[in-house]
Amino acid sequence: MTSTVQTTTTQVYRVYIKASAQAIWDAITQPEWTNRYGYTGYVEYDLHPGGHYKVRPGEEFKATSEAMGNKLPDIIIEGEVLEADPPHKLVTTFRMLMDPQMAAEPFTRITHEIKQLDGYCSLTLTHELDGAPHLASIVGGAMEEYGAGGGHAWVLSDLKTLLETGSSFANTDS
């Protein structure tokens, strides 16, 4: 018996947030924010074309992963900044290093676009996943039922919740 996993090579997510474009930009690019929502991790950006991008896991994420039998590496995501136009657009390459199968896949491309509207903003995340079917499955939320989270939709929902309410459903210390 064979099984087929169908993944979309370009995934687009949009969320509307009652916050300023600068607040959303900061929540995406500042480690003191990124460790408060989603999977919790500390981003490091060198915000110019050619600059490095990496994410280190937070202690809570490390502990949760280890309790499930998965020891995380010191750097769980790496990439390169392709474009940075604060607070409107951030384009990076992206490679997840949390397991050998994903680490073996090629770099993918993520674009964050923030548009100021009338008292709120739209945040659109576009992830181009050519050649990375395992990562596409993970970030698309296909592993949610196995405790791996709900991918980009879950992270963006938590980011919205944190910015609008001051608390996160991912991190109870917020």
H/E segment holding residue 14: strand 10-17
Whether 79 maps to a domain, the answer reads yes
One-letter amino acid at 49 equals P
**pLDDT 10s digits, 115-125:** 999 999 999 99
Whether 154 maps to a domain, the answer reads yes
Looking at residue 47, the DSSP 8-state letter turns out to be -
Looking at residue 73, the DSSP 8-state letter turns out to be P
pLDDT at 173 over 60: no
Whether 46 maps to a domain, the answer reads yes
How far, rounded to the nearest angstrom, does the alpha carbon of residue 110 sit from its chain's CA centroid?
9
- Whole-angstrom distance, CA of residue 128 vs CA of residue 9: 6
Whether 170 maps to a domain, the answer reads no
Whether 2 maps to a domain, the answer reads no
pTM: 0.88
**pLDDT 10s digits, 41-56:** 999 999 999 999 999 9
H/E segment holding residue 155: helix 151-165
**pLDDT 10s digits, 96-137:** 998 889 999 999 999 999 999 999 999 999 999 999 999 998
pLDDT at 13 over 50: yes
Whether 171 maps to a domain, the answer reads no
Question: Which of 3, 7, 5, 9 minimizes the C-alpha distance to 108?
Answer: 9
Positive or negative: CA dihedral 173, 61, 146, 165: positive
Instruction: Give the pair of three-digit tokens for residue 174.
Output: 């917020």
Domain total of the chain: 1
Average pLDDT of the residues in 3-29: 86
Whether 159 maps to a domain, the answer reads yes
pLDDT at 1 over 80: no
Residue 72 belongs to domain with CATH number: 3.30.530.20
* Residue 69: domain span: 10-165
Instruction: Give the pair of three-digit tokens for residue 112.
Output: 């964050």
- Whole-angstrom distance, CA of residue 87 vs CA of residue 146: 35
Whether 110 maps to a domain, the answer reads yes
